[in-house]
Amino acid sequence: MPRAKKDGQHINCYIDRTLCERLKAYADEKGQTMTMALERILKQYFESENKEAIDKDDMEALCSDEFEKRKGL
């Protein structure tokens, strides 16, 4: 029985040869396909970016709350 098809989309990009070689070496080292390695790299980047945005929003909220408290003194 065949595998279920992945809900994905093909992309075609032209990247620097050195970067492509590094991606291939990384994927080989991890025992992954280049697609799998690239997906994991992108997911990690976007999750980190989102976390930083959330952390920044939290810090701004904390600073605002602290400012309001001090202003009331």
The predicted structure's pLDDT at residue 18:
98
Task: Give domain status of residue 33, yes or no.
Answer: yes
Chain centroid to Cα 24, Å, comes to 19
Are 32 and 40 in contact, with CB atoms under 8 Å apart? yes
**Number of domains making up the chain:** 1
Task: Give domain status of residue 4, yes or no.
Answer: no
The predicted structure's pLDDT at residue 4:
86
Return the percentage of the chain with pLDDT > 70, whole number. Answer: 77
Decide which of 59 and 33 is more confident: 33
Domain holding 62, by residue range, is 17-71
Task: Give domain status of residue 54, yes or no.
Answer: yes
Task: Give domain status of residue 37, yes or no.
Answer: yes
Tell me, yes or no, if the pTM score tops 0.75: no
Task: Give domain status of residue 49, yes or no.
Answer: yes
Q: Does residue 67 register a pLDDT over 90?
A: no
Q: What is the DSSP letter of 16?
A: -
Which amino acid is it at 40? R
The predicted structure's pLDDT at residue 19:
96
- Report d(CA 6, CA 31) in Å as an integer: 20
Task: Give domain status of residue 7, yes or no.
Answer: no
Task: Give domain status of residue 6, yes or no.
Answer: no
Q: What is the DSSP letter of 5?
A: P
The predicted structure's pLDDT at residue 59:
64
